[in-house]
A and B are shown apart, each in its own frame.
Chain A
């Protein structure tokens, strides 16, 4: 523990280097832009900008990328409050009370509340990561292939169980991801598979291309279909408004704390920020004294979802760092970045790359402070960017996506592939297939398969190895419970009504 704190202080030293502070500001500003613009979400934005960081040191690079992520989390609130358009799925719940507040002329208050809550949520989650991640990592050091596979199993099962989309669609989307990950060179036997003689498929499908296509191009097509035009409220935010709002916020400490806990829990399990924000909003509405005013512009209705979304978004990095299992698509992209830099996320990272890990964790503290300052001071600027008509911004986003796809492997084939993924993403999203599990499966497919096959090799093909000791059986059982959770909770609810009747 003591040693961890000294590592953390050393990390602050790394993160405070002038270059890294500059990188933080750049990352936050890019991130807010990404969060504000349609078609450029957190996952997609990080994927596009990833190749640009190849020339930096891994620590600076991950600081920049994670700051882009914080920025995107902050940015979603701006569009929700001012334009009633959630820039990101996790800010949908913020529109419920944020936009009515803006309509009443309280845009400044709503934004201040949203940003401050985001900051509080993130801070809570970072403290949790600081305390818990080293413990999880040292525990996970003992994991062999069966345990590692069971962790993946748990992650993917939770996706199916918690998804609000039909389970068979979630499973289908996920396994399409696994199939895409399997294409190309088999890492164990060195044999080619599923390439059908196409040379371009030798290296398989890169998840970055899939992310840029599915989330970027797909989102532009959806926006185009809805034919939306931005008509927003103007934001008057100044020091006085900020100060007045800050004086009101401590009253909602209970909502805030509850939302932090919900956010951390949902973020660590791969449910993610979006359900966390809805759940937190729902509970706040039910328990608050002002519950009846929710939806009409209640400041508490902004605090609850924003705190939870940001806490979840941050907490998603805990399993990514300590277990190598990302809690969200964006965390998955960050994990992909680590792999490209030759850093293997997981428990060993805490042993072998101490400086990197603690530099990153320290940058989470600083990045969120920088983020709060940037968004509070630059709101009018970002709102002005949103007023640029879609017919100008859309082709520019398309070009950015194409450049991002090209720079991954310097291949024009990837750019075409991105377009295919884009149309696919549009179709799947319209048909209620969730895209996040698909992306996660593309990222983790090879690892999951490797651990699965190594386990089977050790057991001579018997599946019993996944229940061979207490640890692995517990995780597998948790996975099965998560998988069938909708059925189980249904059954429990029915039992309860029967005993009540």
Chain B
């Protein structure tokens, strides 16, 4: 994973910029942790150290580390490494966006319908398969999960209006 794409010929966000962003993100996270810990109390109480005592120092260490990381990235000579080129990022987003929509609609549609839609979408968009192959897999896989989970293991998964209409 350590050999990053080199800048020649392709374009994309630089490794440096992303790494700085991640470092700053961690620092912000650390500040939130510190603020929350102070609210919970970082001193000494009746039962010894208060609830915020441990996370306060944890936050402090994250803050220090992320500052060191950001400073290291900014001061070392840039080799023009790319984080990823735009084509690769498009590939990643092609998974992230549909999956995010998928997890967002699961509470409303139930997991089976959403899964069928997700598998169908992937096969159509990324694989360019014919519907005659897509439909059996997109419907068959969630159906198999239904049998395994609801019937064999008796683990109920989220269900929506379609399952209700079918009587579950």
Residues of A participating in the B interface, judged by any CB pair closer than 8 Å: 51-52, 55, 166, 168-169, 171-172, 175-176, 178-179, 182, 186, 188-189, 191-196, 217, 220-222, 224-227, 389-392, 394-396, 398-399, 402-403, 406-407, 410, 412, 415-416, 418-419, 422-423, 426-433, 449, 452-454, 456-457, 461
Contacts and interface: CB of A to CB of B under 8 A. Distances in A.
Contact of A52 (B49, B119, B129, B155): B155
Contacts of B32: 196
Interface in B137-167: 137, 141-142, 145, 149, 153-158
Contacts of B45: 189
A389 B55 contact: no
B99 A166 contact: no
A221 B18 contact: no
Interface of B: 1-2, 15, 18-19, 22, 26, 29-30, 32-33, 36-37, 39-41, 44-45, 47-55, 58-59, 61-62, 65-66, 68-69, 72, 83-84, 88-89, 91-92, 94-96, 99-100, 102-104, 106-107, 111, 115, 118-119, 121-123, 126-127, 129, 137, 141-142, 145, 149, 153-158
B36 to A, nearest CB: 4
Contact of A182 (B22, B54, B61, B65): B54
B40 A196 contact: no
List the 7 closest pairs (A to B, CB-CB), nearest first. Answer: A391-B127, A457-B48, A193-B40, A172-B65, A395-B122, A194-B36, A186-B51
A285 B64 CA distance: 41
Given A220-B95, A431-B19, A398 B65 contact: no
Nearest to A426: B92
B149 to A, nearest CB: 7
Contacts of A432: 1-2
Given A169-B69, A175-B61, A217-B99, 10 more contacts: A172-B66, A182-B55, A182-B58, A194-B36, A221-B95, A225-B84, A402-B102, A403-B111, A412-B106, A419-B103
A175 B129 CA distance: 45
B122 A172 contact: no
Q: DSSP class of A's interface residues: helix, strand, loop or mixed?
A: helix
Nearest to B71: A168
A428 B47 contact: no
A175 B2 CA distance: 23
Contacts of B153: 52, 55
Contacts of A194: 33, 36-37, 40, 55
Contact of B49 (A389, A406, A418, A453): A453
Contacts of B39: 193
Contact of B48 (A396, A428, A453): A453
Contact of A430 (B47, B72, B84, B111): B84
Contacts of B89: 225
30 contacts: A51-B155, A168-B65, A168-B68, A168-B72, A172-B66, A193-B37, A194-B55, A196-B32, A221-B96, A224-B91, A224-B95, A225-B84, A226-B88, A227-B88, A391-B126, A392-B119, A392-B137, A394-B95, A395-B118, A395-B123, A396-B141, A399-B118, A399-B141, A399-B142, A402-B106, A412-B107, A433-B22, A453-B54, A454-B48, A461-B44
A476 to B, nearest CB: 17
B17 to A, nearest CB: 11
Contacts of A168: 65, 68-69, 72
Contact of A188 (B48, B95, B122, B157): B48
A189 B49 CA distance: 9
Contacts of A456: 48-49
Contacts of B103: 402, 412, 415-416, 418-419
B94 to A, nearest CB: 7
A422 B102 CA distance: 14
Contacts of B19: 431
A51 B103 CA distance: 19
Given A193-B37, A392-B123, A456-B49, A407 B157 contact: yes
Nearest to B2: A432
B155 A389 contact: no
A412 B160 CA distance: 13
Nearest to B5: A225
B118 A398 contact: yes
A436 to B, nearest CB: 14
A449 to B, nearest CB: 4
A400 to B, nearest CB: 8
A221 B58 contact: no
Contacts of B96: 221, 423
B84 A179 contact: no
B86 to A, nearest CB: 12
A430 B119 CA distance: 27
Nearest to A432: B2
A492 to B, nearest CB: 25
B92 A186 contact: no
B72 to A, nearest CB: 7
Nearest to A423: B96
A193 B55 contact: yes
Nearest to B142: A399
A424 B153 CA distance: 32
Contacts of B36: 193-196
Nearest to A407: B155
Given A175-B62, A392-B122, A416-B104, A406 B158 contact: yes
A168 B61 CA distance: 10
B166 to A, nearest CB: 19
